[in-house]
Amino acid sequence: MEDRFYTDQYDLYRPTVATSSSREQSLTVPDTATTESLRCLYFPTPGRFQQRATGIDLEYDAVLLVPDSHDLRPSKLGEQPDQIEIDSRRYDVLICWPMAGKTLGKKALLKETR
């Protein structure tokens, strides 16, 4: 998809490792954006994604389309996912995959943080 089609912008909040006074490490989401004003297409439309072969069954609150160069990281093995903020709403990245065909971008499903 050509860059001109990405008409919305989001801020990315990438979890970082924090060490407590007892030297235990954990992932925390920073208060300020890791990267700001990244281009995207944003669809605040909830839905459900099911894939029987892999057992995936997710309810989501929004869909985000981004250029292929963007690095969105969903949760893996209990780790904290990237968060994005768009239109004053904060979301966790549930899943992200390359779009098929000539679009050359990525599609992400988002869950609003409450």
Tracing tokens 């989501």 back to the chain, one arrives at 60
Domain ranges of the chain: 3-112
Copy the structure tokens of residue 83: 């968060």
Tracing tokens 């801020």 back to the chain, one arrives at 11
| pLDDT tens-digit readout, 8-45 | 999 999 988 778 888 887 778 888 999 999 999 999 99
Chain-wide mean pLDDT for the chain?
88
For 26, the enclosing helix (H) or strand (E) is strand 25-28
**3 state SS for 80-101:** CCCEEEECCEEEEEEEEEECCH
Q: If you classify domain 3-112 with CATH, what class do you get?
A: mainly beta
For 49, the enclosing helix (H) or strand (E) is strand 47-51
| pLDDT tens-digit readout, 44-53 | 999 998 888 8
Copy the structure tokens of residue 17: 């490792």
